[in-house]
Structure 1
Amino acid sequence: MSRTVTVSAEEPNGFVANIRMGEQDFVIDESGIGQGIDTGPTPYDYILSALGACTVITLHMYAKRKQWPLQRAEVTLVHERVYSADCEHCDDKAAKISQITKKLKLIGNLTHEQRLRLEIISSKCPVQKTLQAGIVIQTELESESL
């Protein structure tokens, strides 16, 4: 199912983005970024949230289908810019790549084998597959209307 998302930002503070998804409204607020103040979720927070939500839902769907006793799935995510393995000592700052680290916490009376299988399944969620495959983004400029 494809959903349209509309995002807008206006002056006097163009660092607050208003997001409309269906009938729901969200905000991304980077207005305090210059002062080092955390004023709200950032765009990367939403990417990590989408990946985390997809991961735990995928784990529960799989465990339910297998009738495994997964009571709670939790994932902690961190995004950082790191050097690729072949460029650990590069002086070029642009040589860094984006990396997301996922730490899984699986709660329930699971066997060791079930836990290992769920670790593998955690990378099968559609959002992770999309992020790893890459995305083509096509930009189209609409005519100006006042």
Structure 2
Amino acid sequence: MGQYIVHSKLRNIGAQVDQQTGQHRFISDEPISGHGTDAGPNPVQYLLSSIGGCLAITANDVARKNDELELKKFDVKTSGTTTNFQDGGSAVTKIKVHVELETNLSDSDQKVFMSRVLKGCTVHNTLKNAVPIELTIN
């Protein structure tokens, strides 16, 4: 079990948010059309990239544990559709993940490999199971 902490701090520049986790710093922003400065990906883009990144890292981990598996290519393209609701809210209502996979495995073994990747992908499992979010305000 692991615990991750990300500190997000709104800047006074467009819609920029400074993010820090451990030694890593990055910026979230919105495009200029969304009243941002386009200095970084928006939060939905980070969400989608976290799926692709987690799948690729997990695929690498699964492949390293199998000496006979040659993982030649594992490219992920993730797209998301957002919906704006009448009450002013919005949500990602559809996510599509396309994996370009090239290995030395048979088709049936590639399916087994991908099932192991999906089972081990924390981000995929979190989104699939719609984890509850606990919010506190000080």
TM-score w.r.t. length of structure 2: 0.79
User: Is the Cα–Cα contact under 8 Å of residues 74 and 105 in structure 1 kept in the other structure?
Assistant: yes
Amino acid at match of 1:19: Q
Show structure 1 runs of 5+ residues with no match.
83-93
Aligned residues with identical type, % of pairs: 25
Aligned length: 129
- The equivalent of 1:29 in structure 2 is 29
Change (3 A) 1:80 1:122: farther
- The equivalent of 1:104 in structure 2 is 99
Q: Deviations over 1:32-70 (max 9, x none)?
A: 133798542010111111111110121222222233111
- The equivalent of 1:135 in structure 2 is 131
* Inter-partner Cα distance in structure 2 for 1:49 and 1:97: 14
User: Is the Cα–Cα contact under 8 Å of residues 16 and 31 in structure 1 kept in the other structure?
Assistant: no
Show structure 2 runs of 5+ residues with no match.
84-88
User: Is the Cα–Cα contact under 8 Å of residues 17 and 29 in structure 1 kept in the other structure?
Assistant: yes
User: Is the Cα–Cα contact under 8 Å of residues 32 and 39 in structure 1 kept in the other structure?
Assistant: no
Following superposition, the deviation at residue 7 of structure 1 comes to: 0.4
| SS at 1:44 equivalent | helix
Change (3 A) 1:4 1:97: closer
Following superposition, the deviation at residue 30 of structure 1 comes to: 1.1
Structure 1 runs (4+) greater than 6 angstroms displaced: none
- The equivalent of 1:123 in structure 2 is 118
